[in-house]
C-alpha cells in the first residue's frame, strides 16, 4: 500500500474513479450457498488489447479498490473466499504479458501478503495446456490441504462443478463464462 499510495490519493480512490478501468475486465463478486464470497474472473470476456493499453497506475488503482471490496465483506471475513477463474484457454504469452510486470508484482504482493481472507477454493476452468503442465509441476510442492483447495474443472463439466462448488445458477452472475447464471446485479454492480 505504501509503495502505491501516491497513486491512490489523487484522485481519491472511489468506484467512479475506477469504473472505466473496471469495464475492461470481466470481474464479478457474489456470495455462494454457504455465504462465502466468490470472486469470478473471466479472461475470455476481458478486453486484453484495451487492458495492455491501460496505464499501470489505473490498473493498480482498480485492483486495490476490488481488494478492499473483498476484504471489507463481512461474510468473506467469517466464511472465506472462493476464486473462480475462467482462463478461456488463454495463450501463455498473452497471460504473462496481460499486466505490466510492476503491476503484476504489486498486485501479487498485495493480494497474497496482505489478504486477511482465507481462500477456501480456487476453481480453474477452460485451462490451456501450459497451465495444466504448470499446475502439475507446482502440485509436487503443495501440501495435501492446499491441493484440496484447488478445483480443476474439466470441459463439459462446468455447470455440474459450479453446482457443487457454489450451489448453482442462483449464485453465479448471468454473463460469467458459458456457465448458467441467474445473478443480474452482483456486488460490484450495486455500486453503479
**Residues 181-186, mean pLDDT to the nearest whole number:** 93
| Selected residue with higher pLDDT from 18 and 10 | 18
User: For position 2, what pLDDT does the model report?
Assistant: 64
Helix, strand or coil, per DSSP, at residue 42: strand
Res 192 pLDDT > 90: no
| CA gap 155, 160 in Å, rounded | 11
| Selected residue with higher pLDDT from 107 and 30 | 30
CB atoms under 10 Å from CB of 192, counted, come to 8
The full length of the chain comes to 192
User: For position 115, what pLDDT does the model report?
Assistant: 67
Rounded to two decimals, what is the model's pTM? 0.88
Among 31-45, 106-120, 127-141, which is the least confidently predicted range? 106-120
Res 49 pLDDT > 90: no
Amino acid at each position: 500500500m505504501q509503495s502505491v499510495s501516491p497513486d491512490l490519493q489523487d484522485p481519491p480512490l472511489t468506484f467512479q474513479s475506477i469504473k472505466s478501468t473496471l469495464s475492461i475486465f470481466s470481474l464479478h463478486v457474489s456470495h455462494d450457498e454457504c455465504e462465502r464470497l466468490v470472486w469470478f474472473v473471466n479472461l475470455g470476456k476481458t478486453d486484453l488489447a484495451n487492458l495492455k493499453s491501460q496505464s499501470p497506475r489505473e490498473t493498480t488503482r482498480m485492483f486495490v479498490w476490488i481488494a478492499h471490496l473483498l476484504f471489507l465483506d463481512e461474510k468473506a471475513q467469517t466464511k472465506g473466499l472462493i476464486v473462480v477463474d475462467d482462463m478461456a484457454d488463454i495463450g501463455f504469452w498473452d497471460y504473462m504479458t496481460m499486466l505490466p510486470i510492476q503491476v503484476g508484482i504489486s498486485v501479487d504482493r498485495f493480494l497474497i501478503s496482505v489478504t486477511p481472507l482465507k481462500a477456501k477454493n480456487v476453481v480453474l476452468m477452460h485451462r490451456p495446456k501450459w497451465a495444466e503442465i504448470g499446475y502439475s509441476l507446482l502440485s509436487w510442492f503443495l501440501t495435501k490441504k492446499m491441493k484440496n483447495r484447488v478445483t480443476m474443472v474439466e470441459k463439459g463439466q462446468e455447470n455440474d462443478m459450479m453446482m457443487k462448488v457454489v450451489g448453482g445458477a442462483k449464485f453465479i452472475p448471468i454473463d460469467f463464462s458459458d456457465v448458467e447464471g441467474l445473478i443480474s446485479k452482483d456486488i460490484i454492480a450495486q455500486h453503479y
